[in-house]
Amino acid sequence: MGGARNVDTRPDEREWRRLRNRANDNRSMARLTVPVAVVLWLWFAFLLLTPYSVENGHTPIECRSPLGAALSGDNWQAERCAEKRRPATTLGMLGLATLTSVAALGFHLNGSVMLRALGPDAPTEEPGAPTADGTPPTEGEVPSAKTDQPSASSRPSG
């Protein structure tokens, strides 16, 4: 009779290692992308919040920051000031900062979810590393980090 077989569909240790390395690569990309996003956000804040001056012949004209001018409703020299610091530049920085932040978040979440999906049964040591008791592995043996945590099947449910 055809009963349900208990087939182990878990990946082998080489596949575990490949998936773990890919997840760690994604998290590393997030660590590299976050500083870029921070710099872009700071540049956006600088463009939005700092006052500046515009040359008008021989005398400079002091302009309020774009946010300060918008909040005060003071636009007596808005045309001259807008020539120097165009709103498109500020909006472009906002777009770049947002996209970079979303990319960093995506990299981090992807890597974290992959590591979580691998679970505690995934081997975490590289081949050739000492076993849990400190002895070197025998030829062809790949050490496993299953000794510290119980497997999912041996944990009490509830």
Count of structural domains within the chain: 1
Is residue 154 in some structural domain?
Answer: no
* Residues 123-156 pLDDT 10s: 555 555 555 566 665 555 555 544 444 545 555 5
Is residue 140 in some structural domain?
Answer: no
Q: Which residues contact 65 (CB under 8 A, 6 or more apart)?
A: 48, 49, 50, 51, 52
Range among 3-12, 14-23, 46-55 rated most confident: 14-23
Is residue 113 in some structural domain?
Answer: yes
* Residues 59-74 pLDDT 10s: 777 777 777 666 666 6
How does residue 53 score in pLDDT terms, banded at 50, 70 and 90? confident
Is residue 70 in some structural domain?
Answer: yes
Q: Which domain holds residue 109?
A: 13-118
Neighbouring C-beta atoms of residue 140, cutoff 10 Å: 6
Is residue 144 in some structural domain?
Answer: no
